[in-house]
Amino acid sequence: MFSFDLFSPDTLVPLAAMAIPIVAIVGGITAGIVKTIGQQRLIELAQRERIAAIERGIDPSKLPPLPVAGGDLMGTYLTPQQHGRRLSQGLLIGGLVTLAAGISLGVFLRMIADEPGVWAVGLIPASVGAALLLSAWAVHPRNGDRGAGTPPREG
Protein backbone atom coordinates (compact mmCIF):
# COMPACT_ATOMS: atom_id res chain seq x y z
CA MET A 1 0.00 0.00 0.00
CA PHE A 2 1.23 3.49 -0.85
CA SER A 3 1.55 6.01 1.94
CA PHE A 4 2.27 9.68 1.49
CA ASP A 5 4.08 11.47 4.28
CA LEU A 6 4.42 15.20 3.62
CA PHE A 7 7.13 15.69 6.23
CA SER A 8 9.42 12.89 5.12
CA PRO A 9 12.74 13.99 3.58
CA ASP A 10 11.92 12.14 0.37
CA THR A 11 8.89 14.38 -0.13
CA LEU A 12 9.90 17.63 1.52
CA VAL A 13 13.22 18.20 -0.26
CA PRO A 14 11.87 18.01 -3.83
CA LEU A 15 8.85 20.07 -2.82
CA ALA A 16 11.05 22.80 -1.33
CA ALA A 17 13.36 22.67 -4.34
CA MET A 18 10.43 23.29 -6.69
CA ALA A 19 8.91 25.98 -4.48
CA ILE A 20 12.00 28.21 -4.51
CA PRO A 21 11.91 29.17 -8.22
CA ILE A 22 8.13 29.50 -8.17
CA VAL A 23 8.24 31.91 -5.22
CA ALA A 24 11.09 33.84 -6.86
CA ILE A 25 9.22 34.22 -10.15
CA VAL A 26 5.94 35.24 -8.50
CA GLY A 27 7.80 37.66 -6.22
CA GLY A 28 9.66 39.23 -9.13
CA ILE A 29 6.49 39.70 -11.14
CA THR A 30 4.70 41.16 -8.12
CA ALA A 31 7.59 43.56 -7.43
CA GLY A 32 7.51 44.72 -11.05
CA ILE A 33 3.78 45.34 -10.94
CA VAL A 34 4.02 47.26 -7.66
CA LYS A 35 6.89 49.38 -9.02
CA THR A 36 4.98 50.18 -12.21
CA ILE A 37 1.83 51.14 -10.33
CA GLY A 38 3.86 53.36 -7.98
CA GLN A 39 5.57 55.11 -10.87
CA GLN A 40 2.31 55.71 -12.69
CA ARG A 41 0.77 57.11 -9.51
CA LEU A 42 3.74 59.44 -9.05
CA ILE A 43 3.43 60.67 -12.64
CA GLU A 44 -0.31 61.19 -12.18
CA LEU A 45 0.25 63.24 -9.01
CA ALA A 46 2.92 65.33 -10.74
CA GLN A 47 0.53 66.04 -13.61
CA ARG A 48 -2.23 67.08 -11.20
CA GLU A 49 0.21 69.34 -9.35
CA ARG A 50 1.27 70.88 -12.66
CA ILE A 51 -2.35 71.48 -13.70
CA ALA A 52 -3.12 73.11 -10.33
CA ALA A 53 -0.08 75.38 -10.67
CA ILE A 54 -1.10 76.41 -14.18
CA GLU A 55 -4.65 77.16 -12.95
CA ARG A 56 -3.13 79.47 -10.32
CA GLY A 57 -1.33 81.38 -13.06
CA ILE A 58 2.21 80.03 -12.75
CA ASP A 59 4.20 80.01 -15.98
CA PRO A 60 4.54 76.36 -17.16
CA SER A 61 8.11 76.95 -18.31
CA LYS A 62 9.13 77.70 -14.70
CA LEU A 63 7.77 74.37 -13.43
CA PRO A 64 10.04 71.33 -13.04
CA PRO A 65 9.87 68.76 -15.84
CA LEU A 66 7.36 65.95 -15.57
CA PRO A 67 8.70 62.58 -14.40
CA VAL A 68 9.93 60.21 -17.08
CA ALA A 69 7.74 57.12 -17.45
CA GLY A 70 9.62 53.85 -17.22
CA GLY A 71 12.51 55.32 -15.27
CA ASP A 72 13.42 54.41 -11.74
CA LEU A 73 11.97 56.31 -8.81
CA MET A 74 15.30 57.98 -8.01
CA GLY A 75 15.43 59.54 -11.47
CA THR A 76 11.85 60.75 -11.50
CA TYR A 77 12.67 64.44 -11.57
CA LEU A 78 15.55 64.27 -14.03
CA THR A 79 15.49 66.41 -17.12
CA PRO A 80 15.25 64.50 -20.41
CA GLN A 81 18.97 65.16 -21.02
CA GLN A 82 19.92 63.76 -17.61
CA HIS A 83 17.63 60.78 -18.14
CA GLY A 84 19.27 60.06 -21.51
CA ARG A 85 22.75 60.26 -19.99
CA ARG A 86 21.74 57.99 -17.13
CA LEU A 87 20.22 55.44 -19.51
CA SER A 88 23.33 55.51 -21.67
CA GLN A 89 25.59 55.08 -18.64
CA GLY A 90 23.62 52.06 -17.44
CA LEU A 91 23.84 50.41 -20.84
CA LEU A 92 27.55 51.21 -21.04
CA ILE A 93 28.29 49.61 -17.66
CA GLY A 94 26.19 46.54 -18.47
CA GLY A 95 27.86 46.22 -21.86
CA LEU A 96 31.37 46.45 -20.47
CA VAL A 97 30.67 43.88 -17.75
CA THR A 98 28.98 41.45 -20.13
CA LEU A 99 31.67 41.86 -22.81
CA ALA A 100 34.41 41.24 -20.24
CA ALA A 101 32.56 38.17 -18.91
CA GLY A 102 32.20 36.76 -22.42
CA ILE A 103 35.85 37.28 -23.28
CA SER A 104 36.93 35.82 -19.93
CA LEU A 105 34.67 32.81 -20.41
CA GLY A 106 36.08 32.20 -23.89
CA VAL A 107 39.68 32.44 -22.65
CA PHE A 108 38.91 30.20 -19.67
CA LEU A 109 37.29 27.52 -21.83
CA ARG A 110 40.15 27.71 -24.33
CA MET A 111 42.64 27.05 -21.53
CA ILE A 112 40.83 24.10 -19.90
CA ALA A 113 38.93 22.38 -22.71
CA ASP A 114 40.28 19.50 -24.75
CA GLU A 115 37.66 19.97 -27.44
CA PRO A 116 38.48 22.48 -30.19
CA GLY A 117 36.02 25.33 -30.53
CA VAL A 118 34.57 25.16 -27.02
CA TRP A 119 35.92 28.66 -26.40
CA ALA A 120 33.29 29.96 -28.83
CA VAL A 121 30.68 29.70 -26.06
CA GLY A 122 32.19 32.95 -24.76
CA LEU A 123 31.07 34.66 -27.97
CA ILE A 124 27.45 34.61 -26.79
CA PRO A 125 27.84 36.90 -23.76
CA ALA A 126 30.55 38.87 -25.58
CA SER A 127 28.14 39.63 -28.43
CA VAL A 128 25.43 40.63 -25.93
CA GLY A 129 27.95 42.99 -24.31
CA ALA A 130 28.86 44.45 -27.69
CA ALA A 131 25.14 44.98 -28.43
CA LEU A 132 24.70 46.78 -25.10
CA LEU A 133 27.69 49.01 -25.88
CA LEU A 134 26.20 49.78 -29.30
CA SER A 135 22.83 50.64 -27.73
CA ALA A 136 24.59 52.85 -25.16
CA TRP A 137 26.17 54.74 -28.02
CA ALA A 138 22.82 54.94 -29.85
CA VAL A 139 20.83 56.40 -26.94
CA HIS A 140 23.54 58.74 -25.62
CA PRO A 141 22.32 62.33 -26.00
CA ARG A 142 24.36 64.33 -28.46
CA ASN A 143 24.93 68.10 -28.30
CA GLY A 144 21.59 69.79 -28.77
CA ASP A 145 19.60 66.57 -28.37
CA ARG A 146 16.71 66.44 -25.95
CA GLY A 147 17.65 63.01 -24.68
CA ALA A 148 16.95 59.38 -25.45
CA GLY A 149 13.48 58.84 -26.80
CA THR A 150 11.98 62.05 -25.50
CA PRO A 151 9.34 63.77 -27.58
CA PRO A 152 9.60 67.48 -28.32
CA ARG A 153 7.99 69.71 -25.72
CA GLU A 154 4.72 71.33 -26.61
CA GLY A 155 4.09 74.91 -25.87
The pLDDT score that the predictor gives to residue 155 is 40
What CA–CA distance (Å, rounded) separates 2 from 8?
A: 14
Contact 101/93 with Cβ under 8 angstroms?
no
For residue range 39-72, what is the model confidence (pLDDT) as tens digits?
889 889 888 988 999 999 988 888 887 776 665 5
The pLDDT score that the predictor gives to residue 79 is 73
pTM confidence score = 0.51
For residue range 74-126, what is the model confidence (pLDDT) as tens digits?
555 667 778 788 889 999 999 999 999 999 999 999 999 888 889 999 999 99
Boundaries of every domain in the chain: 1-74, 78-155
Average per-residue pLDDT in the chain?
Answer: 83
Q: Is the pLDDT at 143 greater than 70, yes or no?
A: yes
Q: How far is CA 45 from CA 8, 16, 103, 153, in A?
A: 53, 43, 46, 20
HSE toward the beta carbon, residue 67, CA cutoff 13 A: 20
